[in-house]
Amino acid sequence: MGCGTNIVPGFKEFDTQYQKDVKDPALEMKISSELSKEANAKNFMKGLKVKDVGVRKWNRDKHNYNQEGMKLAIVIESVETHPSGSEPAGYVELYQDGSTYSDWSVGDINLDARYHNQGIGKRLYLKSIEEVLKKDGSYLSSGGMTSHMAARVWQSLYNMNPREQSDMLLKMGFPQLIGAFKMTMPAQEEFNIDSRGDDSVSIDEYVVEHFGKDKEVESYEQMQSYAVWEAELRPGQYKENIEKLSGRGS
């Protein structure tokens, strides 16, 4: 018995519209661009080097970070170099608190403009979270000074609900991080508590926004011990995820 397409009501109309959509140059260009960005991001992440540099002394002036006892412990950097050739195209420096050893901060992060708006910045932060989890760290904070672009990444992670976070981690290739961290904003939370019934308390006592010549926010500065953004880490969940993904877990 033959199966002609004409026996399906509306099929010809659907097929005609489908062919138009498929041949839409703007749609094809958008899909191609997104696929190219995703491939570029994956290649960039594959070319990362993670260096455990132990207790090398950090440069307080360079990072404008006023917390004593921090040690430069991990450097994550790309194999590809910046056009100037003087540094990697992207890197993150992570600092360990020498008094607790479980508290970590992002001391410095940089990404060449060629790689902006491709999801690479977020991937670098996720890679940082994973490296601290491997060290059984309890917290990874945004550090003393956070650029506007870095703040956008931190805030986007904070704004996600658990389902959105899981979907994002799967899409970006970090299934091992599902449920292994929770984003918080300690400075804002502490301000909310301290300012109840007291109008004299200012948010500037906890975090200060620095503005550029164009009156746009350029950076955020942590003023007390409460981080502006912080990832609460769950090393146990991370290890459980790794076992399940490797087939060793139940």
Pairwise CA distance, residues 180 & 233, whole Å: 6
Please tell me the pTM assigned to this model: 0.79
Q: Which domain holds residue 154?
A: 47-245
Residue 29 lies in a domain: no
Q: Which position has the higher pLDDT, 146 or 37? A: 146
Burial class of residue 208 in the structure, from the number of CB atoms within 10 Å of its CB (0-12 exposed, 13-18 middle, 19+ buried)? middle
Percent over 70 (pLDDT), the chain: 78
Residue 159 lies in a domain: yes
Query: Mean of the per-residue pLDDT values for the chain?
Result: 82
Residue 180 lies in a domain: yes
CATH code for position 128: 3.40.630.30
Residue range 211-244, pLDDT digits in tens: 988 888 889 999 988 999 999 999 999 999 999 9
pLDDT of 68: 55
Number of domains in the chain: 1
Residue 9 lies in a domain: no
pLDDT of 160: 96
Question: Could you tell me if 126 and 113 are in contact, meaning their C-beta atoms sit under 8 angstroms apart?
Answer: no
Residue 151 lies in a domain: yes
Residue 177 lies in a domain: yes
Residue 75 lies in a domain: yes
Residue 138 lies in a domain: yes
Pairwise CA distance, residues 123 & 177, whole Å: 12
pLDDT of 97: 82
